[in-house]
Amino acid sequence: MMLDHALTALDALFDPTRLLALFAGMVVGMIFGMLPGLGGVAAVSILLPFIYYLDAYSGLAMLLGAVSVVYTSDTITSVLLGAPGSPASAPTAIEGHALAKEGQAARALGVGFLASMVGGLVGSLVLLFAIPVAGPIVLMLSTPELFMFALVGLFFASSMIGKDLAKGLAAACLGLLLGVVGPAQAAADFRYTFGQVYLLDGFSLTIVALGLFGVAEVISMLASGGGISQSRIEVASWRDGFIDFWRHRWLVFRASLIGVLGGFVPAVGASASTWVAYGHAIRSAKDRSRFGKGEIRGIAASEGANNATVISDLVPTLLFSVPGGPAAAIFLGALFSFGYYPGPRMITQSPDLMFLIVWSVALTSVVGALICFAITPALARLTRIPFAIIAAPLVLIMVVGAYQSTSTMGDIFMLFALGGLGWLMKHGGWPRAPALVGFVLSGPMEQYFWLTNQIHGWSWLMRPGVLIIGSIIVIPLVLSAYRWVRARQQTMNGVVEDVPPPPSETSTSSLGLACVLACLVAVMFVYALWEMMSFNPTSRLMPALAIIPGLPLALWLVIRGVREFQNDFATDGAELKILAALIVYAISVWAIGLTAPTLVLIGWMLWGRAEMRLWTGALYGAVVFAIVWLLFDLLRGDAPSGALISLF
Amino acid sequence: MRTFTKLTATAALILGASLQVQAQSGYFAGKSIDVIVPFGTGGATFVSAKFLEPYFEKHLPGNPQINVIDRPGGGSILGANWFEQNAKADGTTILFTTSSTANPFVLGQKGVEYRLADYRVAYSHPFSGVAYVAPSTGVKSAKDIRNSKTPLLYGGIAAAASDLPGLLSFEVLDLDVRSVLGFNGRGPVRLAFEQGELNIDYQFTPVYLTQVKPMVEAGKAVPVWTGGAMQNGVLKARDPIAPELPSVYEVYEQLNGKAPSGIEWEAFQGIASVTYAYGLTAYMHPDTPQEVLDLFAKAAEAINNDPEFQAESKRVTNGARLNAGPETEAVIKAALKPSDAVKTYLRDLLGNKYGVKF
């Protein structure tokens, strides 16, 4: 019976138009996956108008094709450029780019693609077999269990703090604080919105990820100037990648399962489960010294997880009409438009459609990974061009990507403001991963804690699901406490074990900038504390959780910063100028519209920074400008026009 | 996404589909209409706008190209503010939205720049709401609602947004309902109801029909009442979409033996009529000529009589029809300008009971 439907659906999918639609969607998905800041949501919304010219199966196949490869192809950008291709591949950007700089890009990419493929396949398998049984599982995950999942995420994230404990914790608190901006979950408070409508919804994840990671990378790229960058990225042989993948196959598999669970939970995106999987990779590793400096296990875990999540996001979407993530929400809209109303009746009413979805996703996961293998050598050759030349289109594409959030100037300002923060963190020796994790988890943690406590009082602590999930935290803690005690005894007996240092991001931190950043963050926390006093008591919990440890930590870092202060700003002087230039760019876009400042910025980046020759620079610049306009046009229609004077 | 025209033309070329170009004369010939939806692409408002798109393209004179554009953010305030600044006065820019945009305007919340009550109303699509309870409450129908075996627990998103009419209906009926606000959307609320965490809920009709009806059939939910429909300016009629259920008005009569009145009722009727009876409303620039509004009223009527629309609408919303014309506009505009007494009542209720700050 089931096999029957599966075969009918496969047959339906192998109709030429449908296959063409599927692969057309896949190509769009791959391109958008590679463009930093533009991911599944952008790809799906750009395809949306097209699908209405197709029959239901082709249209849906097209969207699925796009959704299921975004997290495969984003690996390329993350590894080669160090700017996350999409928010959920930030761990890949940290580990993969570090490996690429050591000349091991092929290894990182190979593992990334294979892990993505496995993630996709595990996701599809889960869809296939879980659909009949997943209903009860999703129903078992009530708010207390969801809260516990968020806690597990935070627990895993603690592994990313790095070796400078104070800076890592302060970064995590800063992330939590960024996450509480916007509407409070518990009471009708809008927190830290400064009267700006823009902030009423809080920060967009895309902009935070791009700002913290992407902008800082672009600044370094631009600073590298016209000279050939010190590290050529070679993609020579995939062999190492395959070997590494095979060695870590179970890690990939476990990460995929984490991803699948993340997808079951509505509205917890791929980012959260990716970080949880990455944290799991760290915790399960014996030698943690390479995390943050190029650890293949980090890539294996995060790529396995993010692809599995987007696909299992479809489980709550199809079973309960509750979208699992943003791209799934658009897919749900498309289903409605074709007259499918997902819900409890869906499996019995349209079994063929369910299988069509499974096949589409599985097929594109495999084909997408193969295509990534095929195109990467060519793309890697691009990175032999001076980075400054690649940075020019990159910075503008990030602007377009950020502008997708609300299409207001706020998006662009926020991108560069957070970019400045990310840059300061990178150079001040603050790890950025805990900040992003804090940001991602702060919303769900607060929401589920509040709802749980409101609905269940404290009785939820004894729910079986809560206890099972809680054991994920408690058991490793007990085990490591046991190991610690044993290690101590052994040390006493004269056996010295090599204690692995915790991971950290590689950075040569500037003492001057560290001091500036500490002061800045301290001021933010002081202000946050002051404004917090005006909130309803229930809205204070999460900000307090960020501020109470964050403020003393930041103050301590200020003291440390002042004590260690050195006037070493000159080392980063070149990058500082570029940061300033980008901020000037944002302000002039606001004042006089997109066109003129963008042309000036392109000219400055290509002639000034990349030292291109006059005519090649002009030609290349024109192409970049045209692409940016095309993207604006395709995605949104109207680029920002000037607030003061509108120079077109 | 302004360039749907361009895009779709390209799509037609690429995919070999043939784009039917109906060269006709008429006010909108060769024009395109932007329908601004201040919510995300997957949301109910967006889907509804897409649902109506082909019918307006077919029935408006000149067969304009209609582009549905999403402008999410700020709980719909950003998109509506954008409309305030950019709308054209010739009927080619439409703001298609729900009470989530209307309530902040009525309550005078910060950040609202749009003058909703000055806008012209082109058409509206009812989007009624159905209340249902869990069987564990022991409630079999609306008249038992005060005798619930377990304390009633309602889940919502935010008091001042789309939950407002539901919360006001509890005030009107004088029910002791505890509300837990802070959910992500009505979908997660429904899930929490299914999980047994909540025991009273409101869902909009299309969702009720596709998601809650199966629960009712499985004995996991008991429908109790609807928001009601307008009848001679009073929100008392049964909702044509779920005619088997009483309206809030009727339930009040049943419980109290008299027609509802007073400030609670006035407030409920004002807010609920914008939410349910005129759930999705298409607004236009204040200076839009009457001629254009008449064209839309005629198109809405033609759509209501279109058998294809009737069939589709039957399937999706159990036969909801479009409202348009001066009467519709008058009711909506009246609801957007409540009396000072109602305004004060709402602000006090939201401020004291739900901690909303103005």
Contact A320 B1 (CB under 8 A): no
Distance CA A289, CA A482 (A): 22
- Cβ contacts (< 8 Å) between A44 and chain B: which residues? 41
- Cβ contacts (< 8 Å) between A45 and chain B: which residues? 1, 41, 70
Considering only CA atoms, which of A279, A296, A388 is closest in space to residue A108? A296
Residue A319 C-alpha, separation from nearest chain B C-alpha, in angstroms: 10
pLDDT grade for B3, boundaries at 50, 70 and 90: very low
Q: Report how many Cβ contacts below 8 Å link chain A to chain B.
A: 186
The H or E element that residue B231 is part of is strand B229-231
Assess contact for A41 and A330: CB atoms under 8 A: yes
Most confident of B111-120, B156-165, B271-280: B111-120
Q: So what's the pLDDT on residue B268?
A: 93
Contact A45 B1 (CB under 8 A): yes
Q: Evaluate if residue A633 carries a pLDDT over 90.
A: no
Q: Evaluate if residue B23 carries a pLDDT over 60.
A: no
Assess contact for B288 and B120: CB atoms under 8 A: yes
Q: Evaluate if residue A185 carries a pLDDT over 80.
A: no
Q: What is the mean pLDDT of residues B165-170?
A: 93
pLDDT grade for A500, boundaries at 50, 70 and 90: very low
- Residue B129 pairs in a beta bridge with B204
- Those of residues 106-145 in B touching chain A at CB distance below 8 A are 110-111
The H or E element that residue A576 is part of is helix A573-592
Q: Are strands B120-125 and B280-284 parallel, antiparallel or unpaired?
A: antiparallel
Q: So what's the pLDDT on residue A459?
A: 85
Contacts of A120 (CB under 8 A, 6+ apart): A68, A72, A307, A308, A311, A361, A362, A364, A365, A366, A368, A369
- Those of residues 359-388 in A touching chain B at CB distance below 8 A are none
Q: B4-126+278-324 with B129-274: one CATH topology?
A: yes
Q: So what's the pLDDT on residue B220?
A: 93
Tell me: the pLDDT tens digits for A7-51? 888 888 888 888 999 999 999 899 888 888 777 777 887 787 778
Contact B184 A266 (CB under 8 A): yes
- Cβ contacts (< 8 Å) between B17 and chain A: which residues? 53-54
Distance CA A105, CA A117 (A): 18
Contacts of B71 (CB under 8 A, 6+ apart): A406, A407, B36, B37, B38, B78, B79, B82
Q: So what's the pLDDT on residue A506?
A: 44
Q: So what's the pLDDT on residue B13?
A: 41
- Which chain A residue has the Cα nearest residue B350? A188
Q: So what's the pLDDT on residue A267?
A: 59
Could you tell me the strand order of the sheet in which B120-125 lies? B65-70, B32-37, B93-97, B280-284, B120-125
> Closest to B158 (Cβ–Cβ): which among A183, A536, A636?
A183
Burial class (CB in 10 A: 0-12, 13-18, 19+), B3: middle
Percentage of chain B surpassing pLDDT 90?
A: 45
Q: So what's the pLDDT on residue A2?
A: 67
Distance CA B13, CA B16 (A): 5
Tell me: the pLDDT tens digits for A104-118? 888 888 999 999 999
Q: So what's the pLDDT on residue A229?
A: 47
> Closest to A188 (Cβ–Cβ): which among B70, B77, B160?
B160
Helices (H) and strands (E) in chain B, counts: 14, 12
Q: Evaluate if residue A280 carries a pLDDT over 70.
A: yes
How remote is the C-alpha of A632 from its chain's centroid?
22
Residue A70 C-alpha, separation from nearest chain B C-alpha, in angstroms: 19
Angle, in degrees to the nearest 10, between helices B164-172 and B248-256: 20
- Those of residues 433-492 in A touching chain B at CB distance below 8 A are 447, 450-451, 454-456
- Those of residues 217-256 in A touching chain B at CB distance below 8 A are none
pLDDT grade for A351, boundaries at 50, 70 and 90: confident
Contact A49 B207 (CB under 8 A): no
Q: So what's the pLDDT on residue A188?
A: 66
Q: So what's the pLDDT on residue A216?
A: 84
Helix, strand or coil, per DSSP, at residue B20: coil
Residue A188 C-alpha, separation from nearest chain B C-alpha, in angstroms: 5
- Cβ contacts (< 8 Å) between A634 and chain B: which residues? 3, 7
- Those of residues 315-334 in B touching chain A at CB distance below 8 A are 315-316
Q: What is the mean pLDDT of residues A525-534?
A: 92
pLDDT grade for A314, boundaries at 50, 70 and 90: confident
Q: What is the mean pLDDT of residues A516-524?
A: 94
Looking at residue B318, its amino acid is N
Prediction pTM value: 0.78
Q: So what's the pLDDT on residue B6?
A: 45
Assess contact for B343 and B270: CB atoms under 8 A: no
Asked if A195 is an interface residue toward chain B (Cβ–Cβ < 8 A), one would say yes
- Fold entry, domain B4-126+278-324: D-Maltodextrin-Binding Protein; domain 2 (3.40.190)
Tell me: the pLDDT tens digits for B182-201? 887 788 888 889 888 999 99
Tell me: the pLDDT tens digits for A549-568? 999 999 999 999 998 888 88
Q: What is the mean pLDDT of residues A291-312?
A: 88
Query: Mean pLDDT for chain B?
Result: 85
Give the mutation candidate from A23, A63, A407, A633 for the B interface (greatest B CB count, under 10 A).
A407
Structure tokens at A566: 């050195």
Q: Evaluate if residue B44 carries a pLDDT over 80.
A: no
Q: So what's the pLDDT on residue A232?
A: 58
Tell me: the pLDDT tens digits for A388-401? 787 888 888 888 88
Residue A261 C-alpha, separation from nearest chain B C-alpha, in angstroms: 17
Asked if B214 is an interface residue toward chain A (Cβ–Cβ < 8 A), one would say yes
Q: Evaluate if residue B240 carries a pLDDT over 50.
A: yes
Tell me: the pLDDT tens digits for A467-495? 888 887 788 778 878 888 887 777 666 54
Asked if A8 is an interface residue toward chain B (Cβ–Cβ < 8 A), one would say no
Residue A151 C-alpha, separation from nearest chain B C-alpha, in angstroms: 18
Contact A24 B42 (CB under 8 A): no
Assess contact for A205 and A439: CB atoms under 8 A: yes
Q: Evaluate if residue B211 carries a pLDDT over 90.
A: no
Q: So what's the pLDDT on residue B84?
A: 92
Domains in chain A: boundaries: 2-475+502-569
Assess contact for B230 and B277: CB atoms under 8 A: yes
Distance CA A514, CA A529 (A): 22
When comparing pLDDT for A478 and B167, which is higher?
Answer: B167
Helix, strand or coil, per DSSP, at residue B103: helix
Q: Evaluate if residue B322 carries a pLDDT over 60.
A: yes
Considering only CA atoms, which of A93, A98, A100 is closest in space to residue A380? A100
Superfamily of B129-274 according to CATH: Periplasmic binding protein-like II (3.40.190.10)
The H or E element that residue B222 is part of is strand B222-226
Q: Are strands B280-284 and B93-97 parallel, antiparallel or unpaired?
A: antiparallel
Query: Mean pLDDT for chain A?
Result: 82
Asked if B47 is an interface residue toward chain A (Cβ–Cβ < 8 A), one would say yes
- Which chain B residue has the Cα nearest residue A45? B41
Most confident of A52-56, A230-234, A489-493, A631-635: A52-56
- Cβ contacts (< 8 Å) between B8 and chain A: which residues? 49-50, 53
Distance CA B8, CA A54 (A): 12
> Closest to B357 (Cβ–Cβ): which among A17, A189, A326?
A189
Percentage of chain A surpassing pLDDT 90?
A: 20
Residue B108 C-alpha, separation from nearest chain A C-alpha, in angstroms: 14
Q: So what's the pLDDT on residue A10?
A: 84
- Which chain B residue has the Cα nearest residue A185? B182
Give the mutation candidate from B184, B349, B356 for the A interface (greatest A CB count, under 10 A).
B184
- Which chain B residue has the Cα nearest residue A329? B42
Helix, strand or coil, per DSSP, at residue A22: helix
Residue B60 C-alpha, separation from nearest chain A C-alpha, in angstroms: 20
Backbone conformation region of residue B20, classed left if phi is above 0, alpha if psi is from -120 to 50, else beta: beta
Assess contact for A507 and A556: CB atoms under 8 A: no
Contact A200 B73 (CB under 8 A): yes
- Cβ contacts (< 8 Å) between B191 and chain A: which residues? 138-139, 266, 316, 320, 322
Q: So what's the pLDDT on residue B14?
A: 43
Angle, in degrees to the nearest 10, between helices A165-179 and A541-564: 140
Q: Evaluate if residue A321 carries a pLDDT over 50.
A: yes
- Which chain B residue has the Cα nearest residue A346? B210
What DSSP designation does A133 have? H
Poorest-pLDDT segment among A441-455, B3-17, B103-117, B280-294: B3-17
Poorest-pLDDT segment among A440-449, A593-602, B20-29, B232-241: B20-29
Domains in chain B: boundaries: 4-126+278-324, 129-274
> Closest to A330 (Cβ–Cβ): which among B2, B12, B41?
B41
Q: So what's the pLDDT on residue B17?
A: 35
Asked if B160 is an interface residue toward chain A (Cβ–Cβ < 8 A), one would say yes
